[in-house]
Chain A
Amino acid sequence: MIDILRVRDLEVEFVTPHMRTRAVDKVSFRIGAQQTVALVGESGSGKTTISQAIMGILPKSARVAGGSIVFADPKKPGTRVDIAMLSANSAEMRAIRGGSISMIFQEPMSSLSPIHTVGDQICEAVRLHQKVGASEARNLAREMLELVGFPNAKSALRTYPFELSGGLRQRAMIAMALVCRPALLVADEPTTALDVTIQAQTLRLIKDLQQNLKMSVLLITHDLGVVANMADHMVVVYNGRVVERGKTEDIFINPGHAYTRSLLQAVPHFDMAPGERLTPLRDIKPRTDGLLTLVDKFDRKMARLEQQANAGPKHARMGPVAGHSTRDGVHGGAGADANSPPNYSADQANTGPDGAEPVNRRLSEGMRGEAVLAVSHLSKSFPVRKSGWFGMDERRIEAVSDVSLTVGRGECVGLVGESGCGKTTLSKLIMRAMAPDSGSILFRGESGQMTELVGLDEDRLAPYRKRIQFVFQDPFSSLNPRMTVQDLISEPMLIHGVGTSAYRRKMVLELMEVVGLDPRFLNRYPHSFSGGQRQRIGIARALCLRPDLLILDEPTSALDVSVQAQILNLLKDLQRDLNLTYLFISHNLAVIDYMADRIAVMCAGRIVESAPRASLFRNPAHPYTQALLNAVPYADLDHPLDFSKIIDGKCSDPAAWPTPFTVDRMSSPPMVQLAEDHFVRMSRPDYQEIAV
């Protein structure tokens, strides 16, 4: 058996004016014919640099410092080329690149030229490497597009990338890479930017094509679920070194290196026992006792102030709030039409007496379950300018449509959905970063009464801005690069005029310990932190006002798995210790499963199913939920993806769902209760039949 590629003792160095760093350090591995080898590692581990060295596309500041990359092209038996010795622009290297070794990239949008048709781009790849005429090249391109599953390949040749959906774009890119029938396909995070359903389709496609075209695949990924489903062999890299290498099953069953073990334990999976924790590579122990005492002190002070206030003008202030509470009551009544999420009125009745005792109110266990946030029938649409000179001809896209959701105190509600489903818009509506078209957002403010947030102007929103905090997805853009950590964390307190500067400084110090950061970092700027550390700064910032509700918008999707585990554990600990309430938004089902008590599945602006965590994953009722669950790759060899169950096309198109669930212009089904706390959007009144 001949290896297609042998990498031996590869060393790559980056030379910058300041320093010289070794990104790849004596890496060796081999790829056999028709094998799939996965290169696994975190960001910054050097896996992309290795792939760039193989493709001869290293950046200018990098150079191969040693070792060899021997490539044996099966089309030219007996020849061996050391790619490491070739100059990047030599004719030999150019013949190999794109001809014998092809690459597909993470971003399907930026990897295709927007001003050329798909056909032209594929034909270009053909004609660069094969002596064929224009019409023959077009035939080859069409053949390839058929092979990657384009429904109408001939017309697809004439489409521009912007006309294609993300999944089809990815297919077009794969077609372009494979049209010259390369011996080796280098796939650099081919599915990371894709939704889970499209990821499953793409993985299946790569697997099918590999068999058809008899090629080898070098799969670069950080996702062990993908590795378990795709790879024969895996190479684990850490800090530029290979720490473990071998057959996938050997490593999954018997991981030899501590790093590999911790990677495997850091991935959340669906079979976790209740209370089971992830084991992150770098565990942090948050110290919450200090903050808690602070909270107590603060509450006592607040209580004292309230008592003082009680003497006089308090009743006058209570006036309008009472008006809201009647509205709350009306809403509670409307909830009975099986259309609104779980009703907490019973809990509220229980906890009523507790409310009279303000001390420790926010910590009291008795208040658990009382609704903090109740969203009902929320809708928001955006205008899309279709044509017309003055935008007269306007179409609107419904980003959020008829969403109802309740979040109880101390609870973590998970909102799961694919990109573009409207989950971020929903979170921004709740934060009142924008105004909804219709619907209501009730929030329990400091007074303990539910208050309508819709329609409040910025001044009257200020007290609620203090109580609802937001953690952003991208830890790199959500921290002002020109502010020190001290300024960043204390800013919300400064805005709301909380405490003295000494109190703020103390609070920031406490918070640094709470999120497990060294207090010495206080004078540093965000550029000096890794993604996980930045996200912890973001969490500390969100906590400093001691909010009632924390909205977490994909807080871990920009992070490595081991860091993700660290952040998830931190969030869990904080929730337990500080009795926090989370609305946790994610596209990752396993993460939601690990974090949430109740889960709402969102698609095309609507919540299609909502249920407690256990029942949602045990009996998903909605076809979209089922499709999502089927598409998740498990980092477990015993649970391979069932590629036959993966539906091609759009399972996220509401019009394409089977009859009781169809949502289109004709029918817009309401939420129907299947079991206690389990709601599904469907139109059949006799839902009992399909409720298992």
Chain B
Amino acid sequence: MSRHTPDRSDEHFVDTQPFDPWDKEELSPAQEKYFLASQWKLIWWRLKQHRLALISLIILAIMYSAIFIVEFLAPYAQESRDSQNIHHPPQGIHLFDDGSFVGPFTYGTDFSIDMETLKPIYTPNPEKIDRLRFLCSGDKYEFWGLFDASLHLVCPAKDGTLFLLGTDRLGRDMFSRIIYGARISLTIGLVGIAVSFVLGVLIGGAAGYFGGWVDSCVQRVIEVIRSLPEIPLWMALSAALPVTWSPVLIYFGITIILGLIDWTGLARAVRSKFLALREEDYALAARLTGATPKRIIARHLLPNFASHLIASVTLSIPNMILGETALSFLGLGLRPPVTSWGVLLNEAQNINAVAVYPWLMLPVVPVIIVVLAFNFLGDGLRDAADPYKN
């Protein structure tokens, strides 16, 4: 080891600044706030930083709050038909006519028929200016089946039309029906997820906590269920629903079918989280203190993966929505007069219809938006779920 001749680097330097060993323990207000925050607060702070998840959350919040007042939001009632305007293409909303401001309005259309294809042709007529009315009285409806009302956020001009997304083969407004469909399509996922959540947490929790042969059995059952092709299984189960059931009963039957098949993914997530958490020191600490398995699960394990559970639930709601849409599209799920996005898409089964009236495909758009929003939100939640990492 060479020790070279003393130069400046060898001088013995001592810092002269005042030294207080306790100052490290003093907290700034920001730290104080962070330190007093509970787990959920920390998750929320983390989630707020995930831009896409936050936007998705806002979109979903708007959509879900909208399903309470669909009757008010839709310009037409669910079943109101305009036999004069069958397969009417979407109408645009204009603000200016001929350079002068008029306020929101639509142009009325003139009807003619292509005599070769028998396709109805609607040509906008610049003479007919149909000004929109707001908070107006329009089609009568029964609000949640409770009382009669006729107040709408927006209605077409008297004798005018407002087909934002066109009409279907019976002349029903697609936009209104999509709004009505949201009520069924968005909630069917929640009911189904509730079923699969209960099953998943119970079965997965049992498998994870007890391990051994319980775990093996559950794993095998999950593998069998997962290896069944989904669509034929759905078809078989929904064919088993009696045709005589009312649409509402069918709706519940479908959600339970979806839940019965979908719990496997959740059960696996719960099981693996359980296995990981069971080995944590604090779970052992509780066990060594004499805590019962019930207490360990309820007080130590569940709170620690509740956030993970919520994330995986959020990620599996889109599956439910897609499942309902697929079933209804095939004509096996909900049936008219119930309106859901899948039922609406059922109309678009005919390739000819889609080729001539492409707006019949539009119910796909809200499906895509909702599924994406749930996926982004789920991603954000999953990242934020463990606020103590990093």
Contacts and interface: CB of A to CB of B under 8 A. Distances in A.
Contacts of A482: 39, 303-304
A478 B36 contact: no
Interface stretch (B7-15, B167-175, B203-211, B240-248): B7-15
B2 A34 contact: yes
Interface stretch (B63-71, B177-185, B186-194, B276-284): B276-284
Given A246-B10, A496-B290, A35 B2 contact: yes
Contacts of A254: 12
B293 to A, nearest CB: 9
B19 A259 contact: yes
Nearest to B34: A528
A246 B9 CA distance: 8
A524 B36 contact: yes
B289 A523 contact: no
Interface string A1-33: 101000000000000011100000000011011
B4 A481 contact: no
A257 B21 contact: no
B13 A242 contact: yes
Interface string B276-302: 000011101111111110010001100
28 contacts: A1-B5, A18-B30, A33-B4, A34-B1, A35-B2, A239-B24, A245-B12, A245-B13, A247-B12, A250-B12, A256-B12, A257-B14, A262-B21, A282-B22, A461-B290, A462-B290, A465-B290, A466-B290, A470-B285, A470-B288, A478-B285, A480-B303, A481-B39, A483-B299, A483-B303, A492-B290, A527-B42, A545-B289
B162 to A, nearest CB: 45
Contacts of B291: 491, 495
Interface in A229-288: 232-233, 238-239, 241-247, 250-251, 254, 256-259, 262, 281-282
B287 A433 contact: yes
Interface in B78-106: none
B144 interface: no
A34 B291 CA distance: 58
B290 A495 contact: yes
Interface in B1-60: 1-5, 7, 9-15, 17, 19, 21-22, 24-25, 30-31, 34-39, 42, 49
A472 interface: yes
A180 B300 CA distance: 51
A481 B388 contact: yes
Given A433-B287, A481-B388, A524-B36, A19 B30 contact: yes
Contacts of A224: none
Interface in A161-192: none
A107 interface: no
Interface residues of A, number: 65
Nearest to A526: B388
Contacts, number: 137
Interface in A387-409: none
A281 B299 CA distance: 37
A150 interface: no
Nearest to B386: A481
A250 B6 CA distance: 13
A493 to B, nearest CB: 10
B285 A472 contact: yes
B304 A480 contact: yes
Contacts of A477: 280-282
Contact of B9 (A32, A207, A431): A32
A431 B290 contact: no
A431 B388 CA distance: 29
Nearest to A462: B290
Contacts of B3: 232
B30 to A, nearest CB: 6
A262 B19 CA distance: 12
A617 interface: no
A244 B15 contact: yes
Contacts of B11: 246
Interface in B349-384: none
Nearest to A523: B36
Nearest to A19: B30
Given A481-B304, A495-B290, 16 more contacts: A32-B9, A244-B12, A244-B13, A246-B13, A257-B15, A258-B19, A282-B25, A433-B288, A462-B290, A465-B289, A465-B290, A469-B289, A481-B388, A482-B303, A491-B286, A545-B289
Contacts of B299: 480, 483, 491
A525 B19 contact: no
B262 to A, nearest CB: 28
B7 A495 contact: no
A15 to B, nearest CB: 14
B277 to A, nearest CB: 10
A469 B34 CA distance: 31
A528 B31 CA distance: 8
A282 B21 contact: yes
B1 A36 contact: yes
A463 B237 CA distance: 53
A523 B36 CA distance: 7
Contacts of B36: 523-525, 528
A257 B13 CA distance: 9
A597 interface: no
Contacts of A478: 281-282, 284-285
Contacts of A247: 10, 12
A1 B290 contact: no
A474 interface: yes
A604 interface: no
Nearest to A487: B299
B281 A491 contact: no
Interface string A197-219: 00000000001001100000000
B9 A30 contact: yes
A262 B22 CA distance: 13
A494 B60 CA distance: 41
B287 A480 contact: no
Contacts of A524: 35-36
B12 to A, nearest CB: 4
Contacts of A241: 15, 17
Nearest to A533: B25
Contacts of A258: 19, 21
B208 to A, nearest CB: 17
Contacts of A282: 21-22, 25
Nearest to A475: B281
A262 B36 CA distance: 31
A492 B289 contact: yes
A126 interface: no
A479 interface: yes
A433 B300 contact: no
B215 to A, nearest CB: 16
A189 B3 CA distance: 24
Contacts of A461: 290
A480 B387 CA distance: 13
Nearest to B18: A258
Nearest to B8: A30
Contacts of B282: 477-480
Contacts of B35: 524-525, 527-528
Contacts of B31: 528
A482 B387 CA distance: 10
Contacts of B295: 495
A1 B34 contact: no
Chain A CB within 10 A, most for which of B14, B30, B36, B295: B14
A620 to B, nearest CB: 30
Contacts of B289: 465, 469, 491-492, 495-496, 545
Contacts of A541: 285
Contacts of B42: 527
B238 to A, nearest CB: 41
Contact of A232 (B1, B7, B49, B280): B1
